[in-house]
């Protein structure tokens, strides 16, 4: 620990700090320690600063041309002040000492607090030795190693050409990529002083085929968080073949008949339903609002005994993997449900203060303009003991949901999700493609109907929007059987 010098409030305006402008390093200790002490001297129970630098670019290829390149550079900070269970958040793009002090003063004022008298001493804030994940894990050179703009365009155009060669009845074809580089620093009055660099990348296809009144739309994306060579390693030929095959199967598929069916849901992105219909209901933000049916169910059965589910930030290269959350807490694993029993909720600092549930390294935010909130990371249903073939064999007549599409979820778990690629199951065998299927249900009911889980856990990249903005997450599951669910169709 390195203590700051003891100051009086009247000395602070004259202080001159030279923090490194193009890197969040040890030089930021002195100014942030002083500001944290100033906030505590004003009567705040807890003060936190979040600093961020962003270098983002996206590239879109439509047909045989690059149509959009979107860069974004951003630098800023946010300060959060707690008084009891109440808090407020103020952000600024002025990272000078004066700019950060002004943001702190605004936050204190909102909480009904004022700066101490000029003669008051400012308490020492002893921050930990800088916990620097970026340096310790070799991330400093990641940005320079990523594909430059010209290479992005060439790869996406080659990918779109591969899709043209493999698909039929093409109405539109797109290949898109983005790279989001972020450096963050967290300093808080409990001693947290931590830095990280994140590199999030995603690439994928979107294909629309049409022949007369027959239409099919298929999308496929992949994501990564740790490999600067991710775009170069993209096997777009294989992806193009899979997307083209799915579109061909769906183009002339029969429409599904509405009804109640048993279904088999594919692994990987099939986990989006658990994420949306159940995962959000296990975040402490929902407990604070009293909008989750599970708020008082910890230790009770909320799902079929075959279901175990996790949320964690540790899976190598997964889209929601983080070395620390946006409150500086190291990543870890959180057991959500074990054999149907609710074990834990996902909690950030505010959620822990207001609900009593322990923090789980789940404080996440889109950027410095948002306060952190309890959010998912890599969230998935754990593998079971069955094979996918055994799941299929257990269904006399049902639907295989191979690829999920978009959907919506109500505040207490009611959901509907489109199925982009589906097949009829008859006597344990897939017989023909179906389109137009929509899964309709309620989280409390559907969790108790997941009766079989196979061994083939798969993860998929996703994007999640909530109170702290849009963040990168992983959804996942093995193949699962849902004993019955309402399927909307024609």
Q: Return the CATH number at 151.
A: 3.30.160.100
pLDDT value of position 225: 96
pLDDT value of position 2: 42
Quick one: 415 and 267 in the same domain?
yes
Quick one: 456 and 315 in the same domain?
yes
Q: Is residue 215 part of a domain?
A: yes
**Could you read off the pLDDT of 235-267 as tens digits, one per residue?**
999 999 999 999 999 999 999 999 999 999 999
Q: Is residue 380 part of a domain?
A: yes
Q: Is residue 407 part of a domain?
A: yes
Quick one: 275 and 403 in the same domain?
yes
pLDDT value of position 489: 87
Token pair recorded at residue 346? 């996902």
Q: Is residue 171 part of a domain?
A: yes
Quick one: 362 and 462 in the same domain?
yes
Q: Is residue 31 part of a domain?
A: yes
Kindly report the backbone phi and psi dihedral angles of residue 112, in degrees, each rounded to the nearest multiple of 5, phi listed first: 80, 20
pLDDT value of position 5: 56
Quick one: 272 and 348 in the same domain?
yes
Q: What is the pLDDT along the chain (490 residues), one digit of tens a residue?
A: 344 457 877 778 777 787 888 899 999 999 999 999 999 999 999 999 999 999 999 999 999 999 999 999 999 999 999 999 999 999 999 999 999 999 999 999 999 999 888 778 888 789 999 999 999 999 999 999 999 999 999 999 999 999 999 999 999 999 999 999 999 999 999 999 999 999 999 999 999 999 999 999 999 999 999 999 999 999 999 999 999 999 999 999 999 999 999 999 999 999 999 999 899 999 999 999 999 999 999 999 999 999 999 999 999 989 999 999 999 999 999 999 999 999 999 999 999 999 999 999 999 999 999 999 999 999 999 999 999 999 999 999 999 999 998 888 888 889 999 999 999 999 999 999 999 999 999 988 999 999 999 999 999 999 999 999 999 999 999 999 999 999 998 7
Number of domains in the chain: 3
CA 395 to chain centre: 34
Quick one: 282 and 415 in the same domain?
yes
Helix (H) or strand (E) holding 33: helix 29-41
Domain stop point among 233, 253, 273: 253
Q: DSSP secondary structure string, 124-142? A: P--PPSPEEHHHHTT-TTH
pLDDT value of position 1: 37
Task: Select from 371, 353, 365, 428 the least CA-distant residue to 394.
Answer: 428
Quick one: 400 and 290 in the same domain?
yes
Domain stop point among 253, 273, 297: 253
Q: Is residue 276 part of a domain?
A: yes
Q: Is residue 148 part of a domain?
A: yes
**What gap in Å lies between CA 204 and CA 234, rounded to an integer?**
9
Quick one: 242 and 263 in the same domain?
no
Quick one: 402 and 433 in the same domain?
yes
pLDDT value of position 3: 44
Find the domain containing 166 and state its range. Answer: 142-181+197-253
pLDDT value of position 408: 83
Cβ count near 393 (within 10 Å): 14
pLDDT value of position 410: 84
Kindly report the backbone phi and psi dihedral angles of residue 43, in degrees, each rounded to the nearest multiple of 5, phi listed first: 110, 5
pLDDT value of position 17: 81
Quick one: 149 and 126 in the same domain?
no
Q: How many residues does the chain have?
A: 490
Quick one: 163 and 14 in the same domain?
no
Quick one: 30 and 132 in the same domain?
yes
Cβ count near 295 (within 10 Å): 17
Find out whether 352 and 370 touch, Cβ atoms under 8 Å.
no
Task: Select from 196, 183, 186 the least CA-distant residue to 36.
Answer: 186
Q: Is residue 217 part of a domain?
A: yes
Domain stop point among 253, 277, 299: 253
> Which residues are registered as beta bridge partners of 378?
312, 474
């Amino acid at each position: 620990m390195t203590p700051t010098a003891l100051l009086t409030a009247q000395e602070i305006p004259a202080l001159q700090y030279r923090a490194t402008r193009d890197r969040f390093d040890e030089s930021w200790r002195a100014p942030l320690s002083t500001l944290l002490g100033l906030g505590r001297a004003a009567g705040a129970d807890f003060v936190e600063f979040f600093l961020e630098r962003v270098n983002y670019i996206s590239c879109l290829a439509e047909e045989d041309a690059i149509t959009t390149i979107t860069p974004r550079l951003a630098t800023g900070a946010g300060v959060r002040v707690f008084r009891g269970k109440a808090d407020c958040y103020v952000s600024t793009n002025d990272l000078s000492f004066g700019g950060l002090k002004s943001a702190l003063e605004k936050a204190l004022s909102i909480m009904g607090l004022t700066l101490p008298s000029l003669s008051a001493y400012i308490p020492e804030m002893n921050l930990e030795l800088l916990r620097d994940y970026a340096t310790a894990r070799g991330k400093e050179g990641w940005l320079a190693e990523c594909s430059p703009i010209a290479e992005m365009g060439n790869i996406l155009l080659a990918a779109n050409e591969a899709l043209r060669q493999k698909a039929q009845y093409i109405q539109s074809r797109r290949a898109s990529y983005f790279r989001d580089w972020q450096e963050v620093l967290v300093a808080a009055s409990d001693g947290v002083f931590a830095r990280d660099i994140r590199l999030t990348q995603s690439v994928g296809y979107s294909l629309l085929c049409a022949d007369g009144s027959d239409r099919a739309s298929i999308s496929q994306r992949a994501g990564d968080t740790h490999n600067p060579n991710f775009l170069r390693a993209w096997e777009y030929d294989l992806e193009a073949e899979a997307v083209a095959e799915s579109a061909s199967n769906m183009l002339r598929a029969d429409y599904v008949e509405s009804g109640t069916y048993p279904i088999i849901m594919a692994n990987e992105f099939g986990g989006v339903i658990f994420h949306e219909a159940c995962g959000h209901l296990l975040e402490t933000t929902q407990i604070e609002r009293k909008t989750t049916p599970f708020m008082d169910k910890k230790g009770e059965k909320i799902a079929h005994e075959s279901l175990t589910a996790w949320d964690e930030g540790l899976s190598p290269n997964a889209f929601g993997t983080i070395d620390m959350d946006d409150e500086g807490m190291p990543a870890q694993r959180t057991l959500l449900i074990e054999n149907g029993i609710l074990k834990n909720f996902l909690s950030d600092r505010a959620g822990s203060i207001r609900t009593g549930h322990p923090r789980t390294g789940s404080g996440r935010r889109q950027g410095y303009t948002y306060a952190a909130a309890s959010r998912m990371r890599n969230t998935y249903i754990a593998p079971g003991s069955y094979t996918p073939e055994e799941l299929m064999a257990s269904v006399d007549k049902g639907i295989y949901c191979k690829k999920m599409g978009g959907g919506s979820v109500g505040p207490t778990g009611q959901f509907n999700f489109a199925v982009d690629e589906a097949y009829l199951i008859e006597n344990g065998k897939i017989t023909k493609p179906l389109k137009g299927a929509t899964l309709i249900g309620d989280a409390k009911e559907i969790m108790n109907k997941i009766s079989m889980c196979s061994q083939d856990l798969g993860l998929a990249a996703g994007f999640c929007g909530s109170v702290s903005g849009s963040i990168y997450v992983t959804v996942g599951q093995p193949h699962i059987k849902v004993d019955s669910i309402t399927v909307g169709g024609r």
